[in-house]
Amino acid sequence: MTRLQDCRALDAQDPLRALRDLFTLPEGVIYLDGNSLGPLPKAAPDRIARAVREEWGEGLIRSWNTAGWFELPQRLGDQIATLVGARPGEVVATDSTSINLFKVLSAALSIARADAPARRTVVSERSNFPTDLYIAEGLCRERGFTLQLLEGEQIRSALADDTAVLMLTHVNYRTGAMHDMRALTRTAHAAGALVIWDLAHSAGAVEVDLHAADADFAIGCGYKYLNGGPGAPAFVWVHPRHADRFWQPLSGWWGHATPFAFTPDYQPAPGIQRYLCGTQPMLSMIALECGLATLLAARPLGGMAALRRKSLALTDLFIQLVEERCEGYGLGLATPREHALRGSQVCLTREVGAYAIVQALVARGVIGDFRAGRPDILRFGFTPLYLRFEDVWHAVEHLREVLSEEEWQRPEFNRQHAVT
Ligand SMILES: *Cc1c(COP(=O)(O)O)cnc(C)c1O
């Protein structure tokens, strides 16, 4: 049986333990929702205040040049590239995940139409995050493609002569299950299809190597594991073999080869820059830079490999403690036990009361979230940058008490809120 002192010993040996100091975490909170909204980097409030006061207030429009605003999407893109196995100049931070998916799926459909006009199907996963499916549904309808939604092993076997694009999210938002990016990309390419990976739950959470996997397109989220703040800019990567082919459909002036020539016709910039549309939100970009700095601070300590090692140790510990200490309370495990198939979260299932249990935990300062389904899911994200092994112990103790004392049955924990 694991004990509290064992968890404390793991913290004492943790080479990443100092990174927790980079964050402002409220007293008494165990934050297990960094997979939905990363916490506040300690440096962010002053940095943002300085950007407002000096760069905006004093520099005014000059700051587009003097404060490096104009190149910020590329500069942040280069930082993100180091986390996902892309090269400098291949990534930009911009817009939202949904919008970036629209751009890359549209470009992929144009490439498929030019190279293989008989291919009319986009394959994705039924349990993919809904916005990805909605964007694909809309684009397929507009461009005359068929969206085929499948689950599990069916995906691999469906890839055929008519598949134009395979579009998947690397780590599933509900279950934390992770696809084998390299193997699926290889299978899709062998079938003649292009592959788009959504890294919303992978970038900054697990090791990703887009070039080793030979992926075609990738997008990802800035406000989850990248700690960029609510609604932070997302990112987009396109393999250099595709980046100069076709305009993306949002052909705005920031994607123009010479935006300040103000010509009446559109000439796309070379490479990833054409995936920019219009003027980018500088204050949000500056907040995202503070978030990325927390991940880059892990580099001298082993970078993503060290973060991944600790993430797996945290999720292993959580699973083990739940099984040791919460046995007999009807909890199931939706997340794969096998490391190669697991992202950085653990999802528990329960037939009844999942929503109320999450609410009762939140009231105790243990913040996870709830996802409806069959069965319902209690979702816990584990971010190795700031979580301690001791936090995992206490989170499970709170869960045990909520269950053993039937605290979740109280009416105040059974009222629905708008955002779950
Ligand atoms: C979080 C998430 C998104 C978010 O999209 P927004 O455009 O930021 O709302 C998209 N896709 C996946 C898979 C996600 O997990």
Domain boundaries, the chain: 4-40+302-414, 70-296
Given the residues 310, 350, 364, 379, select the one marked as catalytic.
Answer: 379
Q: Which of 178, 179, 221 to mutate to test the pocket of ligand 1 (most atoms within 8 A of CB)?
A: 221
pLDDT digits 0-9 by tens, 33-54: 999 999 999 999 999 999 999 9
Which of the pair, 107 or 374, is modelled with greater confidence? 107
Mean pLDDT value of segment 62-71: 97
Q: Which atom of ligand 1 is nearest to the CA of 99?
A: 7
Which pLDDT score is estimated for 297? 98
Q: Is the pLDDT of residue 418 over 90?
A: no
Which pLDDT score is estimated for 143? 97
Mean pLDDT value of segment 295-323: 98
**% of residues, the chain, pLDDT over 90:** 97
CA of 129 to the centre of ligand 1 (A): 7
The beta strand positions in 64-203, using DSSP E, are 91-94, 121-125, 146-150, 163-169, 194-198
**pLDDT band of 132, cuts 50, 70, 90:** very high
pLDDT digits 0-9 by tens, 204-242: 999 999 999 999 999 999 999 999 999 999 999 999 999
Q: Which atom of ligand 1 is nearest to the CA of 97?
A: 7
Q: Kindly state if the Cβ of 167 falls inside 6 Å of ligand 1.
A: no
Average pLDDT, the chain: 97
Q: Is the pLDDT of residue 288 over 80?
A: yes
**Distance in angstroms (rounded) separating the CA atoms of residues 385 and 142:** 42
What residue type is assigned to position 302 of the chain?
G
Q: Does domain 70-296 match CATH 3.40.640.10?
A: yes
Q: Is the pLDDT of residue 417 over 90?
A: no
Token output for 170: 């690397």
Which pLDDT score is estimated for 51? 98
φ, ψ at 128 (rounded to 5°): -60, 160
**pLDDT band of 338, cuts 50, 70, 90:** very high
**Distance in angstroms (rounded) separating the CA atoms of residues 390 and 386:** 11
* DSSP letter string, 370-405: EE-SSSEEEEEE--TTT--HHHHHHHHHHHHHHHHT
Which pLDDT score is estimated for 419? 79
**Among protein residues, the one whose CA lies closest to atom 3 of ligand 1:** 97
- Residues with Cβ within 8 Å of 297's Cβ and at least 6 positions away in sequence, in order, are 19, 22
**pLDDT band of 75, cuts 50, 70, 90:** very high
Token output for 114: 């030019």
Largest interatomic CA distance in the chain: 71
User: The whole model's pTM is what?
Assistant: 0.97
pLDDT digits 0-9 by tens, 344-399: 999 999 999 999 999 999 999 999 999 999 899 999 999 999 999 999 999 999 99
Per the annotation, where are the binding residues for pyridoxal 5'-phosphate? 97-98, 129-132, 169, 198, 201, 223, 253, 279
Cβ-based neighbour number of residue 327 at 10 Å? 9
**Among protein residues, the one whose CA lies closest to atom 4 of ligand 1:** 97
Q: Kindly state if the Cβ of 74 falls inside 6 Å of ligand 1.
A: no
- Told to judge if 225 belongs to the known catalytic residues of this protein, a careful annotator would answer no
Given the residues 103, 119, 224, 350, select the one marked as catalytic.
Answer: 224
The arrangement of secondary structure in 4-40+302-414, i.e. its CATH architecture, is: Alpha-Beta Complex (3.90)
Q: Which helix (H) or strand (E) holds 30?
A: strand 30-31
Which pLDDT score is estimated for 351? 95
Mean pLDDT value of segment 115-141: 97
**pLDDT band of 420, cuts 50, 70, 90:** confident
